[in-house]
Structure 1
Amino acid sequence: MTWVVTSKQRFYLHDSETLLDGLLRTGHDINYQCREGYCGSCRVQKLAHSQPIEYFIHPLAMIDEDEILPCCCRVQGVIHINEELIIE
């Protein structure tokens, strides 16, 4: 089971649910455009993670080492993201 921790809440991802889908399901206001890693508009800052983050679609958008694209990444274990720094 994957747990996501933001400054506002903690929730788990359903099986086969992307991080973006989980954020939207739990009421987080996050911008997104493509769901395929092209635009980068959904990027968030990762604070910590317990397991490696992988991408099921290699993103074309440029991201910093402390950022992830929730639309196309796979997270497992526990991940902490900065709710306040979700880029819209």
Structure 2
Amino acid sequence: MTWVMTSKKQFYLHDDESLLDGLLRTGHEVNYQCREGYCGSCRVKRIASSHTIDYPFAPLAMIEEDEILPCCCRVRGVIYINHEPIIK
């Protein structure tokens, strides 16, 4: 089971639920467009995580080392994120 901690609340992801879908389900406001890692509009800052964050395919959007794309990343364990939009 994956636990997600934000400044707003903590919640767990359902089986096969993306981080983006979990954030939206729990009332977090997250910008998104493509849902496939192309645009980068959903990027959030990863504060800490108990496991490595990986992607089923390399996203095309440019992200910093401490950023993740909740639309397409795979998270496990516990992750702490800042869900506020990152303005680039």
Shorter chain as normaliser: what TM range?
Answer: over 0.9
1:44-83 alignment, distance < 5 Å: 44-83=44-83
Q: Which runs of 5+ in 1 are unaligned?
A: none
User: What SS does the corresponding residue of 1:73 show, helix, strand or coil?
Assistant: coil
**Identity across matched positions, percent:** 72
RMSD: 1.1
Q: Which runs of 5+ in 2 are unaligned?
A: none
**Which 4+ runs in 1 deviate beyond 3 A?**
none
Q: Measure, in 2, the Cα distance between the counterparts of 1:67 and 1:59.
A: 12
| TM-score, normalised by the number of residues in structure 1 | 0.94
User: What SS does the corresponding residue of 1:23 show, helix, strand or coil?
Assistant: helix
Query: Corresponding residue for 1:86?
Result: 85
Q: Measure, in 2, the Cα distance between the counterparts of 1:44 and 1:86.
A: 6
Q: Measure, in 2, the Cα distance between the counterparts of 1:58 and 1:86.
A: 22
| Aligned partners of 1:53 and 1:76 also within 8 Å | yes
User: What SS does the corresponding residue of 1:21 show, helix, strand or coil?
Assistant: helix
Q: Measure, in 1, the Cα distance between the counterparts of 2:27 and 2:57.
A: 25
| Aligned partners of 1:36 and 1:57 also within 8 Å | no
| TM-score, normalised by the number of residues in structure 2 | 0.94
